[in-house]
Amino acid sequence: MSEIKANILLVEDDQNLGFVVQDALKRKGYSVHLCRDGKEGLKYFNEHAYDICILDVMLPQKDGFSLAEDIRRSDEKVPIVFLTAKSQTDDRIAGFKAGGDDYLTKPFSHEELFLRIEAILRRTLGKAENPRAKDVFEIASYTFDFRNFELKHPDESRKLTKKEADVLRLLCMHRDQVLPRELVLNMVWGDDTYFLGRSLDVFISRLRKYLRLDPRIHINNVHGVGFRFQVD
């Protein structure tokens, strides 16, 4: 079958297992991006659109449960399957609490993995709205296309940098909510140090300038916490 069934993010630090699973999924018609640690996995999740995430639990840099929690802060719907050598009930409960949809204990057969993925995708992609919906946002008189880093207004169009687009997307996805500074810094920069916090303030100022043509749009500081993005 030449058509790609779905885009999969696979995060597995065991090089041999990761390659074998990636190869098996590709032969089944899936597009698969393989990452070796949790920090790299979060970076690629933020940069690309995936239909399902398959995460090992015991990962370097950031464990699978923490990675799933970060993914859930950005996307409440993308399915997450955990791969792990652990089989204790407590670990399964922790996985589901972190936002997991399914849990597969190593060693597992490729056929079982295929069946679980296909069952999840039937439930999710079968009911999905426009698959690009989470990447295109209407902000009053602006249209923000995250995938192409474009911010368009009837009187002006602008190409954003990757990090500008990342920050604006998080604001859009948390519209009318308080968006914590630490969350933005960890999701976009992978760190929440003071120096990067100052950089974030510069990015917020730029976005206010880019959105200035519509006075209904506000990015307000919430002192000591973060930002609130609102449209009147």
Residues 182-197 have pLDDT tens digits of 888 877 877 666 666 7
Mean pLDDT over each residue of the chain, to the nearest integer: 85
Whether 129 shows a pLDDT value over 50: the answer reads no
Rounded to 5°, the CA angle 179-185-186 comes to 100
pLDDT category, 112, cuts 50, 70, 90? confident
Whether 162 shows a pLDDT value over 80: the answer reads yes
Where residue 61 falls (left for φ over 0; alpha for ψ -120 to 50; beta otherwise) is left
**37-51, 90-104, 167-181, range with the lowest pLDDT:** 90-104
Domain 135-231 has CATH 1.10.10.10: yes
Cβ contact 181:227 at 8 Å: yes
Whether 221 shows a pLDDT value over 50: the answer reads yes
Cβ contact 103:85 at 8 Å: no
Domain 7-124 has CATH 3.40.50.2300: yes
Element containing residue 32 per DSSP (H, E): strand 31-35
Q: Where are the alpha helices (DSSP H) in 106-193?
A: 110-124, 162-173, 181-188
pTM of the prediction? 0.58
Residue 105 pLDDT: 84
Chain CA centroid to CA 116, Å: 21
Cα 139 to Cα 150: distance, rounded to the nearest angstrom: 13
pLDDT category, 100, cuts 50, 70, 90? confident
Whether 103 shows a pLDDT value over 80: the answer reads yes
Antiparallel, parallel or unpaired: β 52-56 and 7-11: parallel
All CATH 1.10.10.10 domain ranges in the chain, comma separated: 135-231
**76-80, 127-131, 142-146, range with the lowest pLDDT:** 127-131
Q: Report how far apart, in Å, the C-alpha atoms of 117 and of each of 8, 52, 113 are.
A: 10, 8, 6
All CATH 3.40.50.2300 domain ranges in the chain, comma separated: 7-124
Give the residue-averaged pLDDT of 124-141.
67
Cα 209 to Cα 44: distance, rounded to the nearest angstrom: 28
- Report helix, strand or coil for 102: strand
Q: Each residue of 19-70: pLDDT tens digit? A: 999 999 999 889 899 999 999 999 889 878 888 999 999 999 999 999 999 9
Antiparallel, parallel or unpaired: β 136-139 and 102-105: unpaired
* DSSP type of residue 231: E
Cα 93 to Cα 2: distance, rounded to the nearest angstrom: 38
Residue 154 pLDDT: 95
Element containing residue 174 per DSSP (H, E): none
Whether 132 shows a pLDDT value over 60: the answer reads no
Residue 133 pLDDT: 44
Cα 167 to Cα 164: distance, rounded to the nearest angstrom: 5
